Structure 1
């Protein structure tokens, strides 16, 4: 079933497609974003913004967000490529705990999840980790499936 059928236009997240401008607006010094495990930055937000801007360059990709009411379950993105729906979790570091994504996959045995992070490419059961630098190349291979 197309994701558009389940769309709630009242539930949305805002992104800025230029990460440099976002950093300038937030007055975040670039060196802070480069420090590993620095919790004094919005590194997760910047990384989600980067992923959104990368996916936005692909044609015919509807970028969605999912949050379950009365729960902490939240997926950073949900996209549809052809007839396949992919829940996506974004990680700014190599800490690969993705509780919401794993819960979603456990409850939906037909889905394959994607995790975009600083970690190397690997497939684990129904979860594929894609390094941040390879987002577009990976998704291009899935567009016509």
Structure 2
């Protein structure tokens, strides 16, 4: 829809809007999967890409479009709130997976 050549997004790892496009893709995958739609969440000058409600549980979600492993707001939220489930999406494959 944006009229951007696919190769600019797929082949250019520093593409300016890769994060936003990745977040949009994940949001579309969540759409219709939960009773309450996912929402952006901010608190104490920090932000989470999405929060999901699964029954009585709140699930924080972090989405990374690049290889950056930093996610200070997400990590702090998980440390402080200790949710049963927390999701992080990125192109990094964890050790032991292929």
Alignment of 1:28-107 (within 5 A): 28-38=4-14, 40-68=15-43, 71=45, 73-107=46-80
Distance 1:67 1:32, change over 3 A: same
The answer to which structure has the higher helix fraction is 1
Larger relative contact order, structure 1 or 2 (CA cutoff 8 Å, min sep 6): 2
TM-score (norm 2): 0.81
1:117 match: 90
Give 1:36 deviation, angstroms. 4.7
Any stretches of 5+ residues in structure 2 without a counterpart?
Answer: none
RMSD of Structure 2 on Structure 1 (CA): 2.0
Distance 1:46 1:110, change over 3 A: closer
Aligned residues: 95
CA distance in 2, matches of 1:68, 1:105: 13
Alignment of 1:124-135 (within 5 A): none
Would you say the 8 A contact 2:34–2:53 is kept in 1?
no
Give 1:108 deviation, angstroms. 1.1
CA distance in 1, matches of 2:59, 2:82: 12
